[in-house]
Amino acid sequence: MPSNKSVSDAPITQFVNCKILKDHKLQKEDLWVREGVILNPEKLFFDEKGSADIQVDCQGSIIAPGFIDVQINGGYGIDFSLATDDVKGGVTLVAKKVLEHGVTSFCPTLVTSPPDIYHKVLPKIQFTEGGPTGAGVLGVHLEGPFISQEKKGAHPEQHLRSFQTRGFQELLETYGSLENVAIVTLAPELPQSSEVIDELTRRHVTVSLGHSVANLSQAELAVQNGASFITHLFNAMLPFHHRDPGIVGLLTSDKIPSGRTVFYGMIADGIHTNPAALRIAHRAHAKGLVLVTDAITAMGLPPGRHTLGQQVIEIDGLNAYVAGTKTLSGSIATMDMCVRHFLQAAGCTVEAALEAASLHPAQLLGITNRKGTLQYGTDADFVLLDDQLNVRATYIAGKQVWNKRF
């Protein structure tokens, strides 16, 4: 006879004494997990007559969906834009280290590089499920080289490219393959960008607008062709102007196709964006805000000189500059730092700060059926935090992969 206990013999874990982020609210509720998936307790009790095999006392912690970083260039001495002998090992090291910051999934990001770098590196960065060895890889974010010369930021000018006369074919030849690619950042004012955006979208690659001098009409056309993200809003784009607000104007544009959301990345490290600008963006379009670290190889390293792709970077406090200049070149902030700073600077709710690092990036990538929420049936990737949003423990597939030692 079949057992009445449950459909599966796998152990059931019940997380108690916690507040869980669900339906945009922190709720005093238990979290139930089996086989790496969040369970509906009503079905468990009434349909399966099941009960918990293991109870975890969360000691009043907040449980939020695991953080998702869609723009991270490296960290801890690893630069994703370098064709080292052990690219996979470098990604694995960063994946392991970011667990302590609540990150359960991320998009390794390559900055503007010569074609041979893409051809060597991209095949070695595979999609992975997260686990004890580190956060999961959701695909690569390619930031450049199809960007504006005027707004190149820290990207090396000699490796910038345009689509010339061959459009999407030029992009394919540059990257070699889109097999492991989740996001491409490009400048929508480049000739033939409409065709490229349309084709990338057709292939289920998220298109982001950035490092650009596009006006609002060009940005709106890009969104109408399928673009859905803005790379580090305010940074490396035309400043807001009341007669033509440029890409920034997408936050309140009335030309966005019905049912579509334009998301935008914000580096909430206290350096890249003034708190007033953070507040303006959040109040204008809260549902689109996605926290990103834009972290570089020097995250987790002491001050000094380090690399970012083909450039040398100098770390001074929390500032990362192209060596010998005052050009910002990414961040050394961690995701939990960004969540805390955003909460304080924007004056938003705790729920809004947490969703900007979890729900919104999952919506951007179209993976909310698995990630970014604590809904029943989704992956049990979550983070335990205290009331000040310091990370206490990180879980992937219902298993603890990092915890703070007291």
For residues 54, 58, 60, 62, the Cα torsion angle rounded to the nearest 10 degrees is: -110
- The confidence score (pLDDT) of residue 1 equals 35
- Calpha distance 214→235 (Å, rounded): 13
Residues linked to residue 79 through DSSP beta bridges, in sequence order: 74
Phi, psi angles (nearest 5°) of residue 199: -70, -40
- The confidence score (pLDDT) of residue 82 equals 94
Architecture in CATH for domain 12-65+375-403: Roll (2.30)
- The confidence score (pLDDT) of residue 4 equals 43
Binding positions for Zn(2+) are 143, 211, 232
Binding positions are 143, 154, 211, 232, 235-236, 243, 272, 328-330
Q: Rounded to the nearest 10 degrees, what angle do helices 193-202 and 216-224 cross at?
A: 30
- Indicate where the chain has its CATH 3.20.20.140 domain(s): 67-365
Q: What's this model's pTM, rounded to 2 decimal places?
A: 0.95
Total residue count of the chain as it appears in this document: 406
Residue-wise pLDDT tens digits, 203-213: 999 999 999 99
**Tokens read off for 151:** 């707004």
pLDDT in tens, the chain (406 residues): 344 444 678 999 999 999 999 999 999 999 999 999 999 999 888 787 778 999 999 999 999 999 999 999 999 989 999 999 999 999 999 999 999 999 999 999 999 999 999 999 999 999 999 999 999 999 999 999 999 999 998 899 999 999 988 899 999 999 999 999 999 999 999 999 999 999 999 999 999 999 999 999 999 999 999 999 999 999 999 999 999 999 999 999 999 999 999 999 999 998 889 999 999 999 999 999 999 999 988 898 878 888 878 888 888 888 888 888 988 877 889 999 999 999 999 999 999 999 999 999 999 999 999 999 999 999 999 999 999 999 999 999 999 999 998 5
- Integer angstrom CA distances of residue 177 from 71, 169, 171, 238: 20, 11, 9, 31
- The confidence score (pLDDT) of residue 405 equals 80
CATH number of the domain at 67-365, out of 3.40.190.10, 3.40.1710.10, 3.20.20.140, 3.30.70.20?
3.20.20.140
- Calpha distance 85→124 (Å, rounded): 10
Binding positions for substrate are 154, 235-236, 243, 272, 328-330
| Residues classed as catalytic | 294
- Indicate where the chain has its CATH 2.30.40.10 domain(s): 12-65+375-403
CB 140 within 8 A of CB 110: yes
